[in-house]
Amino acid sequence: MEIMEKWQIREIVLKALEEDLPFGDRTTELLIPPGLKGSAYFLAKSELVICGERVAEAVFHEIDPEIKITWHFSEGTLVPSQTRIGIAEGKIQGLLKGERVALNFLQHLSGIATKVRKMSEILNNSTILLDTRKTLPGLKILQKYAVKIGGGQNHRFSLSDGILIKDNHIKALGGLEKIIEKLETQSHTLKVEIEIKTLDELKFILEKGTKVDALLLDNFSEEDLKIAVSLIRKQRPNLLIEVSGGITEENLKKYAGLGVNFVSSGALTHSVKAVDISFKIEKVWE
């Protein structure tokens, strides 16, 4: 499940803290005595799948290594609304300085994990839910981690991870025929996936694309998708099938029993809604 190293988390956290605390926290440093200590709890204000605990911990530990975080649930746990999911103890100054940045990470990553969990349950293990490279710059590793915590899988992490031929590659080279010709003369060990948009393109690849390992059926109508899957399974049963384009929680169910291997959605990462988590000071002591 782990795809993050400590140094990667720290790098992202330091940049976030530099943005939020460029010259300290003027309010907290003016009002709160440096030695004042206390505790605060994290409260899930809606039902959610918890994700981002290590990142939230890293935020507070960069500000004050003596702050102690205790989580009541592990990553990937689905918790009800109004559940206390963890507690932070230490100097109040550090708790207040780290509050917003820690919550920003926790709410965003838990939002992704929660969305992925809901969509994966709709697919009911019949088809694998994939993310895409439509991620926020600088946060890709965290967002793809959240997808896995939610029960999905990662597609390519970067352009270096595999060959995915899309519409602009086809346009730039002068058509699908040129792409297939090029593939037939190239020597490599990577899997090849091609994005196609019509049944005519599919029929051409089934006949000529001997070095194609997977097909990405993009924005096919439900009727054409059924035809496409039937053709592929009859002529090239070993081809992997991925479906994309306009995938939502509302229309996902129709893909569950079609016999495709993967459903991919950029919305899992690029436009997911953050969940609501609050951070409340509960006790204070000298």
How confident is the prediction along the chain (286 residues), in pLDDT tens digits per residue?
A: 456 788 899 999 999 999 999 999 999 999 999 999 999 999 999 999 999 999 999 999 999 999 999 999 999 999 999 999 999 999 999 999 999 999 999 999 999 999 999 999 999 878 999 999 999 999 999 999 999 999 999 998 899 988 999 999 999 999 999 999 999 888 888 899 999 999 999 999 999 988 899 999 999 998 999 999 999 999 999 999 999 998 888 888 888 888 899 999 999 999 899 999 999 999 999 8
* pLDDT, tens only, 10-27: 999 999 999 999 999 999
* Positions at the binding site for substrate: 100, 132-134, 156, 166, 195, 218, 244-246, 265-267
Domains present along the chain, CATH in parentheses: 6-119+272-285 (3.90.1170.20), 153-264 (3.20.20.70)
What is the 8-class DSSP label of residue 255? G
Place of tokens 């190239």: 186
Query: Where does the chain have alpha helices with state H?
Result: 6-20, 26-31, 53-63, 92-123, 140-150, 167-173, 176-185, 199-208, 222-235, 267-270
The CA-based angle 44-45-49, given to 5 degrees, is 45
Q: Is 88 helix (H, G, I), strand (E, B) or coil?
A: strand
User: The whole model's pTM is what?
Assistant: 0.94
Pairing of strands 48-49, 78-79: antiparallel
Which of helix, strand or coil describes residue 179? helix
**Binding-site residue ranges:** 100, 132-134, 156, 166, 195, 218, 244-246, 265-267
